[in-house]
Amino acid sequence: MKQLTPKHKLKFYSVIALLTGFVVFIRIIGLLFRESLDISDFIIPWYNTLAEKGFSAFAQPFSNYTPPYLYLLWLITATQAFLPKAVAIKLLSIVFDIGNALMIYKILKVKTPKSNTPYFGALLFLALPTVFLNSSFWGQADAIYAFFLLISLYFLLQEHPSIAMIAVGVAFAFKAQAVFLAPFLLLLTINKRIPWYSYLLIPLVYLGMMMPAVMAGRPVGDLLGIYLNQVGTYHSLSMNAPNIYLLIPDTYYSDVVMIGAVTTGVIVVAWVIYYSQKMSNPSSAALILCAAVSAFMLPFFLPKMHERYFYLSDVLLFISAFYIPRFRFLSFISQVVSILTYSVFLFLNYDTSAALIDSFLLAAILGNFSLVVFVLLTQYKLIPSLQSNGSIADG
C-alpha cells in the first residue's frame, strides 16, 4: 500500500473520523424517527404474528412478502423484551447496510488493491442518503436483496459464475427486484461469461429458501405465486417512481401497462444484443457500468414501479463513480432524485401542499430523464475503451 505522508495521513483519518461520526449519528436519528406507514401498517403486524405464533405462522399467508425476510423478522422477535419493534426492524436493515459496505470494499479492492480508496468508498456508501433513509428512517429491506446482488457482482468480477448465480437466487428469494440485474446477466450469458445451465441454480435456491415455510405447512403453490400476487397489489402506473408513468393518469392503466412492458422488453433486447457485440473481453469497469445501466433501465422504463426500486441503481452508480470518474456527477444526481422521492413519503404528509409534492416529483422526473440520457450516452462512448486490459480509459 502506498505510504501516506504524515500530513496526508492526518487528513485521511480526519475525514474517516468525520464520516464515521456522521454515519453513526444519522442512524441514531433514523432509529428515533417516527414509524413509517410501511412499518406500522405492514411490518409490525407481521412481527406480532410471528411473535405470537412462532414458526407455525409460516403455514399461513399472513404477509405478501416471501418467507426469507419473514425468517429474519421472526429471529428479531427475540429482542422484543428490550428493543422497540420499529427499532429492531430498522436495525435488521442496518445490519445489511454494513454488509453492503463490506461488499463495496471488496469490489473497489478489485480496482485499487493497494490504496485506501476501498475503505473510504465503503464508509462513504454508509453516508449516502439513499442508504440511510431506506433502512434507518423507512425500515425497508432493499439493502438485503442488494447485498446478495453485490455478492453476485463481486464473484462475476472474479469469474466465478456459479457462485454468482447462487447469490442471485438468494437475492430473488428476498425480493423480485433482483430481476433488475437480468439484462446484465443475459448480456454476460451471450458473451459466454455465464453458462446457460447456471440459471438452473436460481429456482433451486429459491425453492430451497422456501422449504422452512413448506415444512411449517405452507403449500408450495402459494409460495411460487407470491410475486405474481404482488403485481396486482397496486393498480397505479407509478408509485412515485420518477419516470414517465408518473405523468400519465391511472385511467389509462391497462393499456399503458401492456405498452410499457412490451416497450421495455424491446429496449432490453436491443441493449443486450448491441452490447454483447461491443464487449468481447470487458474489463471490470465495463462490467460494473453495464450492471448499473441494467439496474437503472428497468425501473425507469417499466410501469408499476415504486420510488424505492431505484435503490439498486443508486448503489451501482455509486460504485461506478470509483471505476469511471465521470460517473461521480451521475451518482450525485441519482442521490438527489432519490432524496426528492423518498422525502414525499417520509417527510411530507397529506396536509402538505399538493403543489409542493408535485414540485418534488417533477424535479425528480426531470433529474431521472437527464440521468438516463447521460448514463446511456456515457455507456455508448466508453464501452469500446473499457475492454481487455482492465484499465479505465477515462480521466
Residue 1 has pLDDT above 60, yes or no: no
> Cα(394)–Cα(241) distance, rounded to whole angstroms?
31
Predicted local distance difference test score (pLDDT) of residue 233: 75
Predicted local distance difference test score (pLDDT) of residue 378: 92
Contact 324, 394 (CB under 8 A): yes
Tally Cβ neighbours within 10 Å of residue 270.
Answer: 10
End-to-end alpha carbon distance in the chain: 22
Predicted local distance difference test score (pLDDT) of residue 389: 55
The closest alpha carbon to 120, from 23, 216, 33, belongs to 23
How big is the chain, counted in residues? 395
Residue 283 has pLDDT above 50, yes or no: yes
Contact 139, 304 (CB under 8 A): no
Q: Give residue 60's pLDDT band: very low, low, confident or very high (50, 70, 90).
A: very high
Lowest mean pLDDT among 48-52, 265-269, 352-356: 352-356
Q: What percent of the chain has pLDDT over 90?
A: 84
Q: What are the grid coordinates assigned to 164, written together? A: 454468482
Helix H or strand E encompassing 307 = none
Residue 395 has pLDDT above 60, yes or no: no
Q: In a 10 Å sphere around its CB, with 0-12 CB exposed, 13-18 middle and 19+ buried, how is residue 353 labelled?
A: exposed
Query: For the stretch 140-173, what's the b/e string if a residue is b when 16 or more beta carbons lie within 10 angstroms of its beta carbon?
Result: bbbbbbbbbbbbbbbbbbeeebebbbbbbbbbbb
Per-residue pLDDT, averaged over 363-375, amounts to 96
Predicted local distance difference test score (pLDDT) of residue 3: 59
Predicted local distance difference test score (pLDDT) of residue 384: 84
Domain ranges (residues) in the chain: 234-395
Q: What percent of the chain has pLDDT over 70?
A: 96
pLDDT in tens, 126-150: 999 999 999 999 999 999 999 999 9
More confident residue, 231 or 289: 289
pLDDT in tens, 284-305: 999 999 999 999 999 999 999 9
Residue 386 has pLDDT above 90, yes or no: no
List phi, psi (to 5°) of 238.
-155, 130
Q: What are the grid coordinates assigned to 259, written together? A: 405498452
Residues in contact with 191: Cβ distance below 8 Å, sequence separation at least 6, in sequence order: 276, 279, 280, 282
Query: For the stretch 11-36, what's the b/e string if a residue is b when 16 or more beta carbons lie within 10 angstroms of its beta carbon?
Result: eeeeeeeeeeeebeebbeebbebebb
* 387 beta partners: 282
Helix H or strand E encompassing 306 = strand 305-306
> Cα(241)–Cα(341) distance, rounded to whole angstroms?
7
Predicted local distance difference test score (pLDDT) of residue 385: 82
Amino acid at 116: N
User: Which DSSP category does 2 fall into?
Assistant: P
Average pLDDT of the chain, as a whole number? 93
Predicted local distance difference test score (pLDDT) of residue 164: 98
Predicted local distance difference test score (pLDDT) of residue 2: 53
Per-residue pLDDT, averaged over 93-118, amounts to 95
Predicted local distance difference test score (pLDDT) of residue 394: 37
